[in-house]
């Protein structure tokens, strides 16, 4: 997720382990986050590895409050599930 305003850019990377391991439990979790130059690096690295970069300033701002390793809160399950479903669809289409 990425956000840009006049002052700074922010990025938060999520991972949903169940996509890679059907026995995994839990919600998607924060694996990386950063502002400004680090955010740019996170976004560039994601794009270089063909990882979907979804821009949603409000979601990115909320996710920045979490710590790396934290699961997303239940209030975000539907929204994040829609993003993951879209990313999965793109992968299958490619």
Question: So what's the pLDDT on residue 1?
Answer: 61
Helix (H) or strand (E) holding 84: helix 77-93
Q: Reduced to 3 states, what is the DSSP secondary structure of residue 17? A: helix
Which pLDDT does position 8 carry in this prediction? 84
Q: Domains in the chain: how many in total?
A: 1
Give the pLDDT score at 76: 97
d(CA 42, CA 1): 10
The CATH number that applies at residue 8 is 3.40.1690.10
Nearby residues of 84 by Cβ (< 8 Å), 6 or more positions away: 16, 19, 28
- Model's pTM, two decimal places? 0.83
The stretches in the chain having pLDDT less than 70 are: 1-7
Instruction: Beginning with the edge strand found earlier in the chain, give each strand of the sheet holding 2-4 in spatial order.
Output: 2-4, 9-15, 29-35
**Whole-number pLDDT of residue 22:** 81
Which residue range(s) make up the domain with 40?
2-93
């Amino acid at each position: 997720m990425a956000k840009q305003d006049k002052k700074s850019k922010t990025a938060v990377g999520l991972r949903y382990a169940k996509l890679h391991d059907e026995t995994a439990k839990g919600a998607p979790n924060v694996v990386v986050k950063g502002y400004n130059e680090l955010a740019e690096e996170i976004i560039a690295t994601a794009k270089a590895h063909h990882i979907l970069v979804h821009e949603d300033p409000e979601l990115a701002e909320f996710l920045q409050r979490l710590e790396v390793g934290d699961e997303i809160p239940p209030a975000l399950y539907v929204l994040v599930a829609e993003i993951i479903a879209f990313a999965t669809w793109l992968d299958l289409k490619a």
